Amino acid sequence: MIGGRRLTVTQWFGLIVGLLVLVAVVGIVAGLIALERLDDRRSFLVDRVGPADLAAQRLSTALLDQETGVRGFVLTGDESFLRPNEMGRAAEREAIQALAELERDPRLAPARLELATVADAAANWRTNYAGPAVDARRAGVDPPPPAAGRDAFDNVRIAVARQERRLEAIRLEARDALDAGARLVRAMFISAGVLILLAVAAAALALRGVIIRPLARLAGETRAVREDFNRPLVPSGPTEIHSLGTDVEAMRERIVAEIGALRDAERALIEQAQELQRSNEELEQFAYVASHDLQEPLRKVASFTQMLERRYKGRLDERADQYIAFAVDGAKRMQDLINDLLDFSRVGRMTRPHERVDANDLVEAASGRLSAALEESGGEVVAGDLPEVTGDAGLLTAVFQNLMANAIKFRGDAPPRVEFAAERDGTFWRFTCTDNGIGVEDEYAERIFVIFQRLHPREAYEGTGIGLAMCRKIIEYHGGRIRLAPAQDGRGAQFVFTLPARDAEPEEETTV
């Protein structure tokens, strides 16, 4: 904290990074300065002292060539011996010019004096001996004594040797300076590396104390809260971590409140489940009553109205016959409605173990039950090579039977034709049932699966309006889906439904 104010993680991070950057910049600047000095010394040794040594050697060789040529000519009088002398003179001039250029560097100033001494000694040798000796030999007179030439050229040798020693001393001094510079650079980089490591270690310790420890403390308290939501969390650390701890504490308080609300909801849900169970038991009792107590008086009503119809038909007036017919028809329809409603309520409640069932057998069983209707209408049922599925054989037979019965009931002018096909879809088989009847408009695609919903008057088509609702309930009980697909070529109806395959239990409901 600074001045009582809590620093943020960003500010701490900025301070630490600033320290590292400062250390790095200082190290880089010092290293660059040391490298620059090292490069200057290397350049002086390589680009100045080295070429000066070579030029001095060429100068010494050129002077020796001149002395050898003059001595040979004086002894033999052969002009060819003067050729090395001439070449030596040219090489001497080039070497002196190169040395003069190099020795303009102030650090080579001591060698410049030696170069002047060498040039003066060479000029004295040519003036006092070489020139007069060559002229005398050509004139046929005795040249100056050789001892004079040796003495004069010894002065040249002495001057050249002194120059070479001077350059050697400069080279050694430059080499020592270069080594010292290299050692300095090495020491600078080692120092900079150590300084950077120390700075990184200090930064790591600072980050650990300022960020990591508060985060670890917050994580520990959060884990403790996970075990006991009633344990409060105490925020600490930089602003962001403190704010995070405050948010976690607020979240804990909200979770505690939500848990309380969930427990209340769970108690209410348990009560509703118990109430639902009681209601289901009452519904089962109602189903029992409907199947026994209600059907008995209904059968009596139907029996006696049928007896009235048989015994008194034609004996009373026409209106009485009509009333009796209405009563008989109403009793029959009430029996059909009660039976269908009981069958619908039993789906999923009175269960039998699921087993592997061949869909071809289901189609065959459903066709057998509707054999009379198929024969009367001239209908035809076509099934491909259908697979095995898993389910309740009795309920699944009812699905195929209801679909066939709908195709026969809602047929067009042509004899009814029903086609069944199937294809694999993961752990399910997707079945299609296609007929050539009057079809269903797309806007009624959902309504036809609602219990007791009819699209046509009862006088036009018989039935209770429960067949397709029964199909949907059975299919969904098996974990599948059923829907009305768009009509093929605008004629007939096509139903698509899924059933679990025999080799895999369905993990989730599928879409069709």
Q: Break the chain into its structural domains and give their ranges.
A: 9-214, 351-500
Determine the Cα–Cα distance for residues 370 and 340; give it in Å rounded to an integer: 17
SS3 content of the chain, % helix, strand, coil (to 5): 70, 10, 20
What is the Cα 36 distance to its own chain's centre? 47
For the stretch 163-178, pLDDT in tens is 778 777 777 887 887 7
For residue 3, the model assigns a pLDDT of 45
For the stretch 295-351, pLDDT in tens is 667 677 777 777 777 777 777 777 777 777 777 766 666 665 666 566 556 565 555
Low-confidence winner among 354-363, 384-393, 399-408, 486-495 (lowest mean pLDDT): 486-495
Give phi and psi for 423, each to the nearest 5. -145, 155
Q: For residue 431, what pLDDT band results from cuts at 50, 70 and 90?
A: very high
Determine the Cα–Cα distance for residues 97 and 77; give it in Å rounded to an integer: 32
Q: The tokens 């050249």 sit on which residue?
A: 160
pTM: 0.44
In this prediction, residues 71-81 reach a mean pLDDT of 78
On whether the CB atoms of residues 356 and 390 are closer than 8 A, the answer is yes
In this prediction, residues 384-394 reach a mean pLDDT of 85
Low-confidence winner among 222-231, 258-267, 491-500, 502-511 (lowest mean pLDDT): 502-511
CATH annotation of 351-500: 3.30.565.10
Residue 97 has pLDDT above 80, yes or no: no
For the stretch 232-265, pLDDT in tens is 767 666 676 667 767 777 777 777 777 778 888 8
DSSP SS3 for 389: strand
Higher pLDDT among residues 229 and 328, named by residue: 328
Determine the Cα–Cα distance for residues 432 and 440; give it in Å rounded to an integer: 16
Residue 147 has pLDDT above 80, yes or no: no
Q: For residue 508, what pLDDT band results from cuts at 50, 70 and 90?
A: very low
On average, the pLDDT of the chain sits at 76
